[in-house]
Amino acid sequence: MLRRPRRNRKSEAVRNLVEETSLSVKDLIFPMFLVDGVKKKVAIDSMPNIYRYSIDTMLGEIESCLKLGIQSFDVFPAYSDSLKDAIASESYNPETFYLKALREIKKEFPEVCLMSDVAMDPYSSDGHDGLVKDGKILNDETLEILARMSLAQADAGVDIIGPSDMMDGRVGYIRELLDESGFTETSIMSYTAKYASAFYGPFRDALDSAPKFGDKKTYQMNPANSQEALIEGDLDTEEGADFLMVKPALSYLDIIKLLNDNFPLPIAAYNVSGEYSMIKASADKGWIDNDRAMLEVLLSIKRAGAKVILTYFAKEYASLMK
Ligand code: PBG
């Protein structure tokens, strides 16, 4: 035998020399859930170790993450039903707790990279990402609302806006309004290939944002398709996106690779709530090792071609690396 691949695996030092992919805390964005009020840190049953924070406790949590080397955060708001309506008007109310909190985070920690979410679902009485009429999700009418929401978030000082709604044309529509309004430096991380997935369940529990009727299949992508991701990637690139995101990550590693092979923009992947909770649940039963599974999953997303990973494991990973 002339060729023996095992020679390159014979010791840790040699394995390190030939290791192709490396993961760093700097690659991670930590998604966090915000609620109104003070002194709140509320557990989420379906997401062990993840909490809904009020702004005061969230600032403390961000500070402890910064000490561990995490630099980027994506904040999602949980609104009570009384503040929801058909047109998501609370989303661009300048006095709403979400926008105030984003402002406060940037004021307290100007060095963080702060990302915000653009979609109607947390504010919508229909629980959909777009405007609903006669049981249909309207595309073009939704763009106006998403753009107002984006402008309000840019004005609050966020570094990256994340349109997660999957309406056609929204990246360009938002980009134009931001530019006209002087926010040329606000980045857009587009949810380029966002699939209609069963893995968002725990997130919808966390935000109480499940659709009130039907599903999201007329706007989120069909898990059976990959070619469509190329169309979405083309559009987002032309419309001025700064990052292309694939979501979820694990069942879509091929899509991460496809986008990375075809577009020069940095690819992000969202390691979603269900992917997190699946590991937590089986580790809790003693069926798999939490830390090893976490490391393997994050590494696989990186190896597939993601430069950036949004993950609820961010703090745990950073603590483990310290
Ligand atoms: C909705 C949104 C969702 C997630 C991020 N933004 C859920 C959905 O589309 O219903 C899911 C994230 C996760 O599961 O961790 N705009």
Q: What pLDDT, on a 0 to 100 scale, did the predictor assign at position 209?
A: 86
Q: Would you say residue 258 lies in a domain?
A: yes
For the chain (322 residues), the mean pLDDT of every run of 10, in chain order, is: 98 98 97 98 97 98 98 97 96 97 98 98 96 96 98 98 97 98 98 97 90 95 98 98 98 98 98 98 98 98 98 98 94
Domain count within the chain:
1
| 280 assigned to active site | no
- Burial of residue 38 (CB within 10 Å: 0-12, 13-18, 19+) is exposed
Q: Which of 84, 194, 280, 302 is catalytic?
A: 194
Distance CA 29, CA 24 (A): 11
255 lines ligand 1 (CB under 6 A): no
Domain contains 39: yes
**Does the residue 8 lie in any domain?**
no
**Residue 40 designated active-site:** no
What's the 127 CA to ligand 1 centre distance in angstroms?
11
Report pLDDT for 286.
98
Instruction: Return the ∠ at Cα 157 (arms to 156 and 161), rounded to 5°.
Output: 95
Q: For atom 5 of ligand 1, which residue has the closest CA? A: 164
- Residue 193's pLDDT is what? 98
Is the residue at 6 inside a domain?
A: no
- Residue 113, φ and ψ in degrees, nearest 5: -95, 110
CB 282 within 8 A of CB 262: no
Q: Distance from the CA of 269 to the center of ligand 1, in angstroms? A: 13
Judge whether 271 lies within some domain: yes
Q: Is 44 helix (H, G, I), strand (E, B) or coil?
A: coil
Q: Does ligand 1 lie within 6 Å of residue 123's CB atom?
A: no
The pLDDT, as a whole number, for residue 132 is: 96
Q: The domain containing residue 256 runs over which residues?
A: 25-321
161, β-bridge pairs: 116, 188
Number of H helices, E strands in the chain: 11, 12
Distance CA 294, CA 302 (A): 13
CATH number at residue 108: 3.20.20.70
| Residue 71: inside a domain | yes
How far is ligand 1, taken at its centre, from the CA of residue 47, in Å? 14
The verdict on residue 10 lying in a domain is no
Ligand 1 site, residue 119, Cβ cutoff 6 A: yes
For residue 2, is it within any domain?
A: no
